[in-house]
Copies of this chain bind each other. A is one copy, B any other.
Amino acid sequence: MTEKQPRVVIIGGGFAGLYTAKALKNAPVHVTLIDKRNFHLFQPLLYQVATGALSPADISSPLRLILRGHENTDILLDHAIDIDPVKGEVILKDHPPIAYDQLVIATGVSHHYFGNDQWQPYAPGLKTIEDAVEMRRRIYLAFEKAEKEIDAEKRQALLTFVIVGGGPTGVELAGAIAEIAHGALRSDFHQINPTEAKILLLEGMDRVLPPYAPDLSAKAAASLIKLGVTVQTNSIVTNIVEGCVSVRQGEKTTEIAAETILWAAGVKASRMGRILAERTGVNLDRVGRVIVEPDLSIAGYANIFVIGDLANFAHQGDKPLPGIAPVAMQEGEYLANLLISRLKGQTIQPFHYIDRGSLAVIGQNAAVVDLGFVKFSGFIAWLVWVWAHIYYLIEFDNKLVVMVQWGWNYFTRGRGARLITGEGQNLASGQLPQNNGQNNNNLAVSSQTETLSPPIVKV
């Protein structure tokens, strides 16, 4: 690295930030990638950790390993807490400020409880490895507690699993829990029958997988029902307390006693969006995402870019691009290309997302695929799903173990990673989102139907 090279600072090592860094490998720039974790998380498979099919390390790759050959790239394990666009600096928690010439913000999104953050301890969401391990703990502990419970009513509550939100994450979680009850655990208990577990998937709109075509939603719902999931649409969660969720369907509100309530309903922009708005005056959308220009920069700042789930890119189609991994990857690659072109004095076309289709998995042998020109479901769709995930996983780090583990799980219907670990510190201590009430008031949306899409993989 020479001192004269432009300094590109990337905040966030998710799909967007990482693909930017990867594509800048041989560029004449000095890159600093800042992340608070030392690994990239393959988030589309996080639900498999939450349900005991894979281990955390199976879907995580050390950032230093992925970027090992990048002589021009420094990696910094730290929290970016502020930016100073006047000085051109990123302020860090444990390190002196880092100066940038070009700033890339890719800090993603977190859970969103629609202004009801007090629900979080009782209905954890799924964004981090710690979230997934906590979900896994709750799911398997519920069966263990039920085995010991002599009161029939309490036992039923222990065997009731409510998943709030019928997007891809909710569908995948509900399908996986049904497979646990009917598959992995089917002969493991003597006092209870795990196949009697009730798995309830709640969705605010009139069908699951609302971003998909209606016939795929119907097929997904049919597959879920076949697996033993109760699918309840047009259902708005009005309250959650420990062990109980209140649901309004039309005029009627019912209370469901459930030991395990999982949140897959909403996401909101990470804190960095608001900080950026305060420092630059850039506009945010209703859930706090940053409105970006056609070249992914922000208004008035040609050297500050926002990409990935945090960006609201509204220059293609009639609504913003969804918060999914393929959009993030393509934005990262586009941005690297743009930075390289600028150094050469060239200009490039605005960003254009190429939609190669959508996938969601419901369970073993069951998935839905929408490639635009063709839609299909079932076993072939499932094979496409498996292939796509293995392909992307291997790109980072040769995750042969995932293939072996999946092969083994497939033939044994087993879930070898079903450890109950930790003492529930994460959620017992009521760890709440970093945004306080004030921000929530600004960012909250009014109903479950207005969520950002949870991340899914597109091929």
Contact = CB atoms under 8 A, between A and B. Distances in A.
A421 interface: yes
Interface in A387-412: 397-401, 404-405, 408, 412
Given A57-B416, A419-B56, A77 B401 contact: no
21 contacts: A37-B420, A38-B140, A39-B419, A52-B57, A55-B417, A56-B419, A57-B418, A60-B419, A61-B416, A64-B185, A64-B188, A68-B187, A68-B188, A74-B191, A75-B147, A94-B145, A397-B416, A398-B412, A399-B416, A404-B404, A425-B426
A421 B421 CA distance: 13
Contacts of A55: 55-58, 417
A133 B129 CA distance: 13
A300 B26 CA distance: 77
Interface size class of A (residues with CB under 8 A): 35 or more
A148 B32 CA distance: 12
Nearest to A408: B400
A431 B230 CA distance: 42
Nearest to A186: B68
B404 A148 contact: no
A74 B418 contact: no
A37 to B, nearest CB: 7
Interface in A42-95: 52, 55-58, 60-62, 64-65, 68, 74-78, 94-95
A319 interface: no
Given A55-B56, A57-B55, A408-B401, A148 B78 contact: yes
Q: How many copies of this protein are present in the complex?
A: 2
Report whether over half of chain A's contact residues are helix, strand or loop; otherwise say mixed: mixed
B130 A421 contact: yes
Nearest to A60: B419
A57 B419 contact: yes
A189 interface: yes
B148 A94 contact: yes
A4 interface: no
A77 B37 contact: no
A242 to B, nearest CB: 17
A418 B185 CA distance: 30
Contacts of A64: 185, 188-189
Contacts of A144: 38, 77
Interface in A418-443: 418-422, 425-426
A414 interface: yes
A2 to B, nearest CB: 14
Contact of A405 (B56, B74, B401, B418): B401
Interface in A144-190: 144-145, 147-148, 185, 187-190
B398 A401 contact: no
Interface in A166-224: 185, 187-191
Contacts of A400: 404, 408
Given A64-B185, A188-B64, A38 B419 contact: yes
A202 to B, nearest CB: 28
Given A56-B421, A130-B422, A422-B130, A414 B188 contact: no
Given A95-B148, A189-B64, A400-B408, A57 B417 contact: yes
Nearest to A421: B129
A368 to B, nearest CB: 29
A419 B37 CA distance: 8
Contacts of A140: 38
Contacts of A416: 57, 61-62, 65, 397, 399, 401
Contact of A420 (B38, B190, B399): B38
Given A64-B185, A77-B420, A425-B425, 10 more contacts: A38-B141, A38-B418, A38-B420, A55-B55, A57-B417, A68-B187, A77-B148, A401-B401, A401-B408, A425-B426
